Structure 1
Amino acid sequence: MFAVRMATMVLAVLSTGLIAGVFYAYAISVMPALARADDRTLIDVMQKINVVIINPWFMLGFMGTVGFTALAAALHLGSDQRTTLIWLGIALVLNVIAFGVTVGLNVPLNDALAAAGDPASIADTAAVRADFEATWVRWNIVRAVLHTAAFLVLCGALFAAGVQQGKSNSTTDAVAGQPFAQVSGQAVAQAGGPVAGQRFSQQPGSPAAGAPYGQQHQRR
């Protein structure tokens, strides 16, 4: 079960990191470059990007930011996994908010830009650009920051899960390393048998197990 939990967390980290990187690249390279281009060029390039980016590879990562994180959180439900679950819960909230920013704010702006039609036939390209660029860039930065924060929190979840598993293994090794006689004696003592709490070396009928030898001889 530990391996399955770790696998889902790795998928959550990978998908979140990839999407954070995509939006980060927009923020530091694509949009600053297009800011130096003319209105018609910006509209044309962004229309094309918004079409080609809808592909299985992007959608797997984009949907995985929420899906894989939610699955990892579900697999860590339980008091024994509470520390890791807290980290995963925070990451899930961050990814859900970032997902909502994309779907609720950036995508409608993309749709409005596409609805403007062929850039060559747009009468007022400056107005179309003004309605799109500044707002889209602002919300792209917000979602990039949110996904990056979620990525860092998921790394914390991986670390917490590793520490917790290490403690569990140490406890198991400590129990397994106890002397057999000690473990057996504890078992007999818990069972409440007639020799509960006595050392196994003290056999019934021996001088150490009963009265002194002289008293035993007199009783005979």
Structure 2
Amino acid sequence: MASAFPILTFLAVLAAALNAGLFFIFSVCIMTALARLPPAEGAAAMNAVDAVIQNAWFFSAFLGAALLSLVLAFLGFLLGGAGGVMAATGGIVFLLAVLGVTILFNVPLNDALAAAPAGSAEQAALWQRYLDVWTMWNHVRTLGSLVAVGLFALAFRQGVPPG
């Protein structure tokens, strides 16, 4: 399995970087643009984005990065060395700060927004909270992805651990 380490870390760099870019653009552009819309329109636009983002391309990058992170967390601890520790740490960071945050915070907020009656006071109140809370957790996902990219890149640079 050690011979697969460089390939896995390189793929993890790419996958985590795709996620970092996606989350970054939401944090610095998309959410700000949606916040400028009236609440019913902003919520409707976000619901539309949430519906279309759930596709094979997104799931390949998102779940692929999570799977690579899980494999590298395990493999990195088995192999040891500086590269192994960096790979394992990158995997754990991605799993906690990206996958965990998405499951625990972003997805439930998406589901609540989708369930709110369109144009209602409930939706308007939820939208204001959503803009703050969802975006804050998205910042965490952005930073988590970037940290994972850096750690995977450093692990790749180290090469195959001695274990």
TM-score by length of structure 2 reads: 0.88
Change (3 A) 1:101 1:51: same
1:34-70: CA deviation from partner (whole Å, max 9, x where unpaired): 1211111111100001111111111111112221123
Q: 1:130 deviation in Å?
A: 2.1
**Which whole-Å CA distance do the structure 1 matches of 2:92 and 2:147 have between them?**
11
Q: 1:19 deviation in Å?
A: 0.6
2:51 is aligned with what amino acid? Answer: V
Q: Given that residues 8 and 69 in structure 1 are in contact (C-alpha distance below 8 angstroms), is that contact kept between their aligned partners in structure 2?
A: no
Correspondence list, 1:63-212, <5 A: 63-76=63-76, 78=78, 81-98=80-97, 99-117=99-117, 119=118, 121-161=119-159
2:104 is aligned with what amino acid? Answer: G
**Which whole-Å CA distance do the structure 2 matches of 1:84 and 1:142 have between them?**
24
Listed as ranges, the gaps of 5+ residues in structure 1 are: 166-220
Structure having the larger proportion of residues in helix: 2
1:65 is aligned with what amino acid? Answer: A
SS at 1:96 equivalent: helix
Aligned residues: 161
Q: 1:129 deviation in Å?
A: 1.3
1:59 is aligned with what amino acid? Answer: F
The aligned residue for residue 42 of structure 1 is 42
The aligned residue for residue 21 of structure 1 is 21
**Which whole-Å CA distance do the structure 1 matches of 2:93 and 2:73 have between them?**
13
**Which whole-Å CA distance do the structure 2 matches of 1:77 and 1:91 have between them?**
11
- Between the aligned residues of both structures, percent identity stands at 30
**Which whole-Å CA distance do the structure 1 matches of 2:63 and 2:21 have between them?**
15
Listed as ranges, the gaps of 5+ residues in structure 2 are: none
The aligned residue for residue 60 of structure 2 is 60
1:1-55: CA deviation from partner (whole Å, max 9, x where unpaired): 6652221111111111101110001001101111211111111100001111111
Indicate the larger mover: 67-76 or 96-105.
67-76
Bigger radius of gyration, 1 or 2? Answer: 1
Alignment RMSD, CA only? 2.1
**Which whole-Å CA distance do the structure 2 matches of 1:55 and 1:6 have between them?**
28
Q: 1:78 deviation in Å?
A: 4.8
